[in-house]
Structure 1
């Protein structure tokens, strides 16, 4: 049995219409005391934006509908109409049928983002992952070794200290060993690939800035990053550990952490 349509769904659209679309999903959600994600899903499925456009410009909407059809007097579609409850007209009609509401809400938010903002967020995530990896993958010295149990076989024997109970005694064990040079080499390879990806994204961001589609704020972001990189080059001590990363941004990943590797 189909779930009854919520009366708040129509109320939410009325509020959106009253504000000519100049109101956020969060504000509507607060007015109706319902989750913001629910508003996002309704907005996507009911195509609120198209409803606003049609109410403000009926001529354009009717013209658009005629252009989407076939030639005048064309009868190719006679007897071949869309099935009941067809959602071909929805932007995400196919997805709305199969994807969960939370995913649809995310898609709605992504649609409202500028391509440059999406790319910048990816740059930030990649940069963060690279910096965070320094602590996780740090090798203390050339003699460092990690011993990890791979598999083992045990034998059950009576426990002399606890009558009536048994204890497991290992009879066969296999270990994996990771030496410092192996870990460092693996780390450098992975880091080089990550930095090459970051460098490519920054280059792409620069190209989009030159295309004239960027705002002043979007232009300042990458300039700020470049200034921070230049400043970091002059620091010593702990900050100096990022020198390899800084050089990789400008000259590629060939000499990533070369100095640190030589002194290890």
Structure 2
């Protein structure tokens, strides 16, 4: 599924256009940021470059365009170069001497591939694998480095993993046994086999232990979100729905004799009326 375009991306360009391009990326980021989200200067700079704001505004690419407009500065009207009559450059034809090898191996003076000279610090680009770095950039643009959005994505991921675990680790009944061949080798008496056997109570105990840790992590994430989010944040209703499911699972786990499946309703993105 294609990632949804941030609505702030179009708003940022409209602000840029209203100021006729005479506004910094930092100022645009401040205008877009609210108490619920934070838009970074770097994100605005990415939108400006990818969407070609300068081309849209003027129809001409300004190669010297700066993210922060440079103020006019008065310079001396003195002409450049040596004074009239100066003979310092007599017999100097320009360039390096014949046979000079200072530039050997330099393909036009360009920087190496994936050079991070133009980046803010280049740390991530230097050490992260290309695929991981690209994913980091996509996430940064998708959630605008908003702490609440990052926390919300973590809650959704943890909840999805708990639902997925229900299907994998479910124990059917007391007779549910798993038998797995661990080792097989040839000996003088024939083949020797080593099996690992897990009975229903072993599997159920392992499942409950893992599930308890996962639920504790999810509950902690929900508490953090509830503490940081605004009172009218619509995502609170979805979290209340998830919390009901967590309480239901915990109450079931307290009954050691009950190994019936707990049905988790994966309905948080749609109708909350169950």
Residue 130 of structure 2 corresponds to residue 101 of structure 1: yes
Residue of structure 2 in register with 1:235 after alignment: none
Matches of 1:26 and 1:197, distance apart in 2? 39
SS of 2:180's partner is strand
Cα offsets for 1:174-210 (capped at 9, x unmatched) = 1100000000001000000000000000001111115
Shift of 1:94: 2.4
Corresponding residue pairs, total: 164
Alignment check: 8 A CA contact 1:192 1:256 kept = no
Q: Given the two structures, how large is their TM-score scaled by the length of structure 1? A: 0.51
- Change beyond 3 A, Cα 1:94–1:26: closer
Q: Aligned residue for 1:134?
A: 166
What CA RMSD, in Å, does the superposition of the two structures yield over aligned residues? Answer: 3.8
Partner of 2:239, secondary structure, is: helix
Give the match's secondary structure for 2:123.
helix
1:167-182 matched pairs, under 5 angstroms: 171-182=191-202
Alignment partner of 1:221 is 2:217: no
Unaligned runs of 5+ in 1: 1-14, 30-49, 60-83, 157-168, 231-241
Structure 2 partner of 1:46: none
Q: Does 1:197 align with 2:229?
A: no
**Contact 1:152–1:170, Cα closer than 8 Å, also in 2:** no
SS state at 2:167 partner: helix
| Post-superposition offset of 1:141 | 0.8
- Pair 25,109 (structure 1): closer, same or farther in 2 beyond 3 Å: farther
1:140-182, Cα deviation, whole Å (9 max, x unpaired): 11121111111011379xxxxxxxxxxxx95211110000000
After superposition, what is the alpha-carbon deviation per residue over 1:28-79, rounded to whole angstroms, capped at 9, x for unaligned?
A: 49xxxxxxxxxxxxxxxxxxxx942x12xx36xxxxxxxxxxxxxxxxxxxx
Determine which of 117, 139, 144 is the counterpart of 2:176. 144
SS in structure 2 of the partner of residue 96 of structure 1: helix
**By how many angstroms is 1:228 displaced?**
6.2
C-alpha separation in 2, matches of 1:117 and 1:23: 19
TM-score, length basis structure 2: 0.49
Could you list the runs of 5+ residues in structure 2 that have no partner in the other structure? 1-12, 22-43, 53-64, 72-110, 260-274
2:208 is equivalent to residue 188 of structure 1:
yes
Do structure 1's residue 263 and structure 2's residue 264 form an aligned pair?
Answer: no
Give SS of 1:113's match. coil
More helix by share: 1
Instruction: Find the counterpart in structure 1 of residue 247 from structure 2.
Output: 246
Secondary structure at 1:151 match in 2: strand
Contact 1:151 1:173 (C-alpha < 8 Å) held by counterparts: yes
Does the CA contact (< 8 Å) of 2:179 and 2:198 recur in 1? Answer: yes
